[in-house]
Chains A and B, each alone.
Chain A
Amino acid sequence: MSAKTWTGVDGQCAFTVFTRIEGGKSGADAVVAILTPIGDHVATNDDVPFAQLAGLHFASFCAVPLSSGDWYLVFEGNVDGTPADFLRELVGRAGPKLREIYGHCLDFPVGDAATDEAVLTYLLAHDIGADTFYVGWAGWSVERIRREKALRDAIEALVESPGFTVPPDADLATFHAAIRDGIAGDPQLRWTSEPPTRPAVVRYGRLALVGILAALVLVVLRLVRRAAGPVRSAARRRAGRSLRILVGLLVATAVRLRTAESDDERRDRQRSPGWQAAYDEWSRHLGKVRVREDEQVQNHMISVIPIKPGWFRLAVLRTVLWVINLAARLWWNRGELGGIGSIHFARWVIPPDGRDLIFLSNYDGSWESYLDEFIDRASVGLSAVWSNTDNEVGFPATRWLVSGGARDEARFKAFARRSMWPTTVWYSAYPSLSVANIRTNMAIRDDLPTSLDPVSDDVWLGRL
C-alpha cells in the first residue's frame, strides 16, 4: 500500500510531480533559469500566481540529479483537497509558464497537443506522491489556519483599542467575556460562535492505530495458543509452522541487517577521501544550497541520497517508510512528529527506479536547529531511514538500524548538507506562522466561545 493512496484521509494531499529534464545539466540550467524569477517573487509573480491558488499550503520546484545521471524536476505540493483539483486550477492559471517549464521535460506534449487537459494529464501521470507523508496539523485547511490567525490578530487589536475598557482588577472571566463580546460584533468573525470541530483523523487516529496494533498482537497470541494446542492436530501444525516462519524471518532479517551494517562500517574505514575531506571539498557549494534559507520564519529543504545497492536495503527502507507513514497519519497528526515540533509538511519519496531517496520538508527555524532536533529528539527514526542510504560523506555508523547513526552530530549534519540541492521556487501560504503559532491560534479559537473556570481562563488569556 503506497502512501499516495491515503494521503487524503485527513483533508491534505501530497503530490510530487517528478519529470525527467531533457538535455542533462544544461537542460536543468535552462529550467532553473525559467524558475528563478518566479522564486524571487514567489508570492507576487503573475506567471505562477501561487497566492491565488485555493488550498495550497506549500509548494516547491527543484531540479536535482539522480543516481541514473539524469536530472529531474521535482514539483512538490501540499494541498487541501485532491491533487487533480489543485493541478487543474494551476493549469488554468499558469498554463503558458507550465508549458515553458515542462517543455524541457521528457514526453511533454508538443505544440497544439499541449491542451490544458493534456498538460493536466501529464502532471497527474508523473505524480509519484509520497512514501511517507507528514502533516503538522492534519485536517487544518489553509483557510482555517488563516482564519484562526485573523481571529488572534483581531483579539490582539481589540485589547489594545481604546474601546476595551475592562478595569485591570476585574476577574479573568470578565476579560474573557469582554473579548468574546468584542469579537462577536465583527461580522467577519461570526464563525467563531460555532463550536470548533476536530478532523476525524485527529479524533480517531490514535484509537485506530492502537486497534491495529492490538489486532496484530492478538493474531500472534492466537498463533502461539494454537501452537500449544492438542498434539498432532492440524491447527497446531499449521500454527507452529507459521510461528517458525515468522520468527525465522525476523531472525534472518536481523542477522542480515547486522551483517550489512558491519560490512558498511568496514567499507567506511577504507573510504577515500575520508568523509571530512569529502564534505570540506563539497562545502564551497554551500552558499548555493542556502540561497533561499532564512528569509523568513520557515525554511525548505530538498535532499536526494542514493539508496545503498541491493534489494535488502531497499526493502528495509520501504518497510521503515511505511511504518513511519502509518504512525504519522494516525498518531503524529497534532503538531509534532516524534518529538519534533517544527515541521509543517514533510515527505520521503522513492522515485520509480528505486535507486534514490528524496526528502522534502517545510519546517520552522534554521536548518541547524532542525537538524539538532533530528539528532536530539528523533535520531532513531532518522537513522532507520537514512542508514539505508549513502553518499560521498556517508551515513554515520549505525547498529540495529536505530542506534548510533544520527547521534554522530558533525558527520550526520555533513551527510545531510551534502545531500541537499538548491530550492529554486518555494511558496508558503502563511510564512510568518510557526507550527506552535498555529497551535496557539487554534487553542485561542477553541476556547473563545466557552465559559471557563478561573484556571483555564488564566491559561487562555496567557496565550495572547
Chain B
Amino acid sequence: MLFNHKDLQVRLKHLYYYFKLVIEKANNVAAVAAQWVLFALALIIFYDVVMRYIFSRPTTWVLEISEYMLVFVTFVGAVQVQRKKSHIKMDYFYGRFPLRLCRYLDIFFNIIIALFFLLILLTSLQMTLIAFHYNSISNSLLEIPLVIPYSIVPFGMLLVLLQSIIDIAESVKAITDANLDEKTGG
C-alpha cells in the first residue's frame, strides 16, 4: 500500500480544501463579471436610446447583444445566489422543523439542486455543441456565431454545479459534526 488510511484522509482533505479555494476564486470573478455586464447592459441600451432619438441613427446590435447579456447576468450571476444561499424559498414550515430534520433536508435539497444544474448543464452543452458543429449563426443582421451566446449557459451552470457540490459536502459535514458532538457530549 502506498499510504495508509489516515494518510489518504489527510490528502483528500487537502484536495477538498484546494478545490474549495479554487471554486471560491472562480466564483468571485464570475460575480464581479456579472455585475459589470449588468452595468454595461444599462449603458448600451442608453447609448441606443441616444443614437435613436437624438441622432436618428438606431443601432443594429444593441437589442440582440442586450439579450445575451441578460443571459450572462442570470446564469453566471446564479453562482453568487447559490453561494450566498439567497434563493427564494418558502421557509415558513422549514423554520419550524427540528434542527436535525433541517440538516437532512439540506443534504436532500443540495443533491436535487446539483442534479438540476447537471441537467441544465448537459442539455445546454448539447445545444452549444450542435451550434458549433453546424456553425449556426444568429438570425439577425449581426450574424453572430451562436456558439458564443449559447456557451454562456453551460459555463454558468458548470460553476454553479461545482459550488453546489461544495454545498453537498458542507451539509454532510454539518451532520457528521453534529453527530460527533453528540457522541462526545459536546
Partners in one complex: no
